[in-house]
Structure 1
Amino acid sequence: MTVHLIAGAGYIGEALARALVARGDTVLLATRSGTNVPGTTPITLDASDPDALATAAAGAATIFLATGPRQYHRWPQLWPPMHRAAIEAAHRSSARLVLMGNLYGYGEDSAMPMSETTPLHPTEPKGQVRAEGWTLALAAQARGEIEVVEVRASDYFGPGAGRNSQLGSTFFGPVLAGKTARVFGSPTEPHSWCYRADIVATLIAAADYRGAWGRVWHVPAAKPLSRAEITERVNRLTGEEGRVKALSPVFLRLLGFFVPFIRAANDSSYQFNRPFLVDSSETERLLGVHATPWAESLAAVIESYRAPAERAGA
């Protein structure tokens, strides 16, 4: 059996673990709390500890770095130790390293759509630290120490996505109740959204890839839609009359003076105030991964909200 070490059991890490177990692989799941996902071997460790991570990775074919700091505003301090630990663990264990990344490193001035070959030009601290992590990993591969790829996704959504997702519970909850969802940024700008199942499929396909490593893969996204358009589609599917409205930018700027998380979010508000589009043609062509159609993904999300209510009323 192929052995994989996954660092992180959050929204993506847990689903990745379940998918790998389902295909018969052996999964070591490393978290601070020793999270136990059925079929995996839980390991308690800090992903920023290179010694612990290297020990856990012994015998693994792949290390998936699928975790991240919860303190959004502290990314510049908390990401570098995790990047260095993952690189060191991959070097010591000879496991290939798959980084779960995002699009922040491309920066505000990138041409749309962003492709796998778009240069990194971060324009705010969160993008800077992600770009630095990738640069560090590439340097290690250039020295012959590791093999690494980064899978980059736009904003995620899917069943179970919580408050931290721009298409999570604070969006779908009100819309499915026929109320108004208050959103960060413009609700009318087109945006690429990545479905959780497609993120997991891309991570697995990237780990299985037998071509050259030291490259980037973009998670395929279905047709770019604004949150207003998504609301309209949900209304048609449910018969509800949900609405979407932007949170006041002035209010968010004022709140940012007192709440570090909001201040950090404001730094990347450009992603929601103009078109934010992804090109994943290389991933689709070389890995054979394709985006789940909106009709299928929205139906699954709607069902995930309805099912608990139906069980409660049974």
Structure 2
Amino acid sequence: MSFHVIVGAGALGTSLALQLADAGTRVRIVTRSGGGPEHPLVERVKADATDADELARLTRGAEVLYNCANPPSYEMWERLWPPLAASLLEAAERTGAVLAIGGNLYGYGPVEGPIHRDLPLAATDHKGRLRARMWAEALARHEAGAVRVTEVRASDYMGSMKPMGSYPELYADQARVRRRVFTFADPDQVHSVTYVPDVARTLAAVATDERAWGLGWHVPSPEARTVREMVADMAREFGVGRPSVSRIPRPLLRGAFRFSPFLREVGELLYQWDAPYVIDADVTTEVFGVEATPWEEIVRATAAGLEARASHGSRGPRGSRAGRASRPGSPTRSS
């Protein structure tokens, strides 16, 4: 029986663990809390994944080590990501496991036209530079023959996430209960979203296929839509009237940067919403046969998740794109 290790039990880690286990793979999921999904083939372990010795011990015998973790807030990325990424690389090198990374599109920075994997990772904001640096370090170890690595890059998550972790889902939830939805940027620019189970399917596909190693792969996503269109579709699924959509005035938002470190971090990523932001994943589909879940199914799943969370009084978004979904996009855009 195959044995895989997953670090992180947020939206991505949970979806991946269940998909692998349902397919007959034995899974060990590692988190600080010892949490994760319940399944006969899923073992939940409480451990600090930044401890390379402990992570290597837990990974021994595994075919794949997945990075599905993410610090819980943008403000923590520079402090928490480097030691975690280094530990994952070290554990993969010591054990021979393939390191499969759940990533996002931040490393590309602003681009013109569709975002395809051959573009340079040329971000100028610190979160994008950090994600690009993490991949560069992993790729350097791969090219030196020390480890086998691959990365999948997704746009903003949608799906049944607990807790809520992306701005498309936040806007969808506003459509459920409000007559007006407020957005941080232009609601009439098309923007790709990625379904969490599709990210997990792509990770599982590339992790065990040597054609994928040493490369980044984009997650197949449905046709890009505007926030206004997404809100209308979600409202229809909720069975409520179509709400109006208003953009928060940029001067007002920038004024809040002085008082909110989180909003300052969001401000660096507004380029993703002020112009078309469209992922191109054709190569992934051609090579691995992974296709995007139809938009209508994503809407139904997202609505069901939001309604279930509301009935249990769960809190709103505090996560990032890979593990807990990215803010305002990632994944962490992303992982």
Q: TM-score, with normalisation over the residues of structure 1?
A: 0.93
Q: Distance in 1 between matches of 2:130 and 2:8?
A: 19
Change (3 A) 1:289 1:269: same
Q: Distance in 2 between matches of 1:43 and 1:310?
A: 29
1:77 equivalent in alignment to 2:79: yes
Q: Distance in 2 between matches of 1:166 and 1:310?
A: 20
Change (3 A) 1:49 1:308: closer
1:147 equivalent in alignment to 2:148: yes
Q: Give the corresponding residue for 1:10.
A: 10
Matched residue count: 310
Give, in angstroms, the shift of residue 212 of structure 1: 4.9
Q: Give the corresponding residue for 1:231.
A: 231
Kept in 2: contact 1:112–1:278 (CA 8 A) = no
Kept in 1: contact 2:222–2:292 (CA 8 A) = yes
Q: Distance in 2 between matches of 1:161 and 1:309?
A: 11
Kept in 1: contact 2:14–2:36 (CA 8 A) = no
CA deviation map 1:238-296 (0-9, x unaligned): 35222322223222212211221111111111001111111001101011111111112
Give, in angstroms, the shift of residue 228 of structure 1: 0.3
Q: Distance in 2 between matches of 1:118 and 1:309?
A: 40
Q: Distance in 2 between matches of 1:311 and 1:42?
A: 24
Kept in 1: contact 2:206–2:213 (CA 8 A) = no
Kept in 1: contact 2:172–2:230 (CA 8 A) = no
1:185 equivalent in alignment to 2:185: yes
Q: Give the corresponding residue for 2:25.
A: 25
- Counterpart code for 2:74: Y
Kept in 2: contact 1:105–1:130 (CA 8 A) = yes
Change (3 A) 1:73 1:36: closer
Q: Give the corresponding residue for 2:115.
A: 114
Kept in 1: contact 2:101–2:151 (CA 8 A) = yes
Mean Cα deviation higher: 230-239 or 293-302: 230-239
1:134 equivalent in alignment to 2:135: yes
Structure 1 portions without partners, runs of 5+:
none
Q: SS state of the match for residue 167, structure 1?
A: helix
The answer to which structure, 1 or 2, has the higher relative contact order (CA under 8 A, 6+ apart) is 2
Residue 107 of structure 2: which of 89, 94, 105 is its match? 105
Q: Give the corresponding residue for 2:322.
A: none
Q: SS state of the match for residue 228, structure 2?
A: helix
Kept in 2: contact 1:6–1:64 (CA 8 A) = yes
- Counterpart code for 2:138: A
Mean Cα deviation higher: 55-64 or 240-249: 240-249
Q: Give the corresponding residue for 1:123.
A: 124
1:191-270 equivalences under 5 Å are 191-237=191-237, 238-270=239-271
Structure 2 portions without partners, runs of 5+:
314-335
Q: Distance in 2 between matches of 1:311 and 1:262?
A: 27
Q: Distance in 2 between matches of 1:210 and 1:114?
A: 24
Kept in 2: contact 1:178–1:240 (CA 8 A) = no
Q: TM-score, with normalisation over the residues of structure 2?
A: 0.88
Q: Give the corresponding residue for 1:48.
A: 50
Q: Distance in 2 between matches of 1:140 and 1:309?
A: 45
- Counterpart code for 2:269: S
Q: For the aligned residues, what is the CA RMSD?
A: 1.9
Kept in 2: contact 1:182–1:247 (CA 8 A) = yes
Q: Give the corresponding residue for 2:320.
A: none
- Counterpart code for 1:43: V
Q: Give the corresponding residue for 2:327.
A: none
Q: Distance in 1 between matches of 2:130 and 2:36?
A: 30
Change (3 A) 1:111 1:162: same
CA deviation map 1:150-204 (0-9, x unaligned): 0000000112354431122x32222123522222211111001001111111111
Identity %: 35
Q: Distance in 2 between matches of 1:204 and 1:305?
A: 26
Give, in angstroms, the shift of residue 117 of structure 1: 1.2
Q: Distance in 2 between matches of 1:157 and 1:212?
A: 25
Kept in 2: contact 1:10–1:67 (CA 8 A) = yes
